[in-house]
Structure 1
Amino acid sequence: MTEPSLELLCEGLREHTAGLARMTDGAAPERHVPTCPEWCLRDLVAHVGNGHRWAATLVAERSADLLPMVPEKAPDDPAQWPGWLRDGAERLLDAVDTVGPDTTVWTFLGPRPARFWVRRMLYDTAVHHADAAISVDRLDGYALASDLAADAIDEAMDMLSGPRAATLNPSLAKLRGDGERIALRPSEPHVTGWLITRRPDGVACQRTADADADVTLRGSVTDLLLVLSRRVPPEEPHVAVSGDRPLLDHWLSLTAFG
């Protein structure tokens, strides 16, 4: 699947940054975020806003090396969160525009074009937007465009199957297997599914419309993303699991992302 254009990625980052702000509007800053058990809403907002600012600095400096994050305190007044969040996202987009989206910078996957950070921060923000929605019992008001949800899964599979996966997270080495297969089947006819194969040398993933698998997860592409990122359980009414459920559970226990 072709990666969305930079314009669409930028629009998505703005949209989900604003969506996160809307979900937290009027909620108590200390409200618990059940999908991020150690956080309250204030922590969630600080994490997203500082992630944007850190990525913006890395891009603006054209850094070839990992830079430490120097957190900026999020406003105490929740009424100021929308502006603070928006400012962080715009710093990143301005930095990419200034240095050029094809300028090579550091990433945890090795040197990549600066646009990498727009894509990465978009999907991090989109999943945390869902966290905020879950926290305030408004997940029914959450939406992610199907092309972006599919690209978020593509990005995650690239990270999980890449040569650096086990070095980034040693637990991912436990995903090695003997050919066990997990299929993701989106309900949208225009979205091709995924077939994940656990091989002795690591994880392989391919886009395919139909293939035999040991376990299959079906649902809208956004619901598939939310299950894969452990934001909703496989028992979610909008998804269905058939086949070897323990195989899926083992995968989910090791691979939460976003």
Structure 2
Amino acid sequence: MADNGNLLAEQRRALILDEVRRRGGVRVNELTRQLNVSDMTIRRDLDALARSGVIEKVHGGAVMVEEARTHEPGFEAKSVLELSAKEQIAQAAAELVTPGSAIALSGGTTTYALAQHLTEIEQLTVVTNSVRVADVFDRAQRTTGAPAATVVLTGGVRTPSDALVGPIADRAIRSLHFDLLFLGTHGLSPEAGLTTPNLAEAETNRNFIASARRVIAVADHTKWGIVGLSTFAALAEVDTWVTDSGLPAEAASVAREHVRELVLAQEGRAG
């Protein structure tokens, strides 16, 4: 871990989370030395990560959440993580969209970031099961005069991440066809593929995939190696994975063996 007292809180928390994942646990006194910050700063970072549901605080430090495969953090908790990476991914993913396209966006904080880059593209038809994504387009049209996209919000039961899932959502999605699908995910791995802790959300995502001509996963590098309860796609079903340049070289090499195309947001397209 880098020894740098000038890191932004977001960067520092990402490093801490990587260290917890690598070692299974960390101690406060170790982190203060490695990151050259105060004990109070580290404890605030651990509090923020614990609130997001990705670690569990213990006496003197933190460990991985044992229930991570079945725990689904809420939208607000996830929205504070990896902000820079999500913005980079959103910018790169938006370049794949052309005016007049019919696109689908699943729920998630990365697809939410992407939606904010799509409001200026003309004549889009947007199908989403995300209440937050639908709100982005509605707000842009009302407050900034952005081009009016046709937005179809599926019905369904609302999850902690503000996605609508279940039979109503599934029925609506199965009747439609999309040029592009942008998928968020809880985790990706070579063995388990794309996963989520929510069984109903997994089924809804499967229906999205079946209705799309091209499937694009949008997920930052910290999602690599994370396995949720339910698989909704194999990596081979992903046409393009847009991620950030924080993805380790070894992971990028493995990913290229499975997905058809890997896009590293700061480096452009990678074959």
| TM-score normalized by the length of structure 1 | 0.34
Could you say which structure has the greater relative contact order, defined with CA pairs below 8 angstroms and 6 or more residues apart? 1
| TM-score normalized by the length of structure 2 | 0.32
Higher strand fraction: Structure 1 or Structure 2?
2
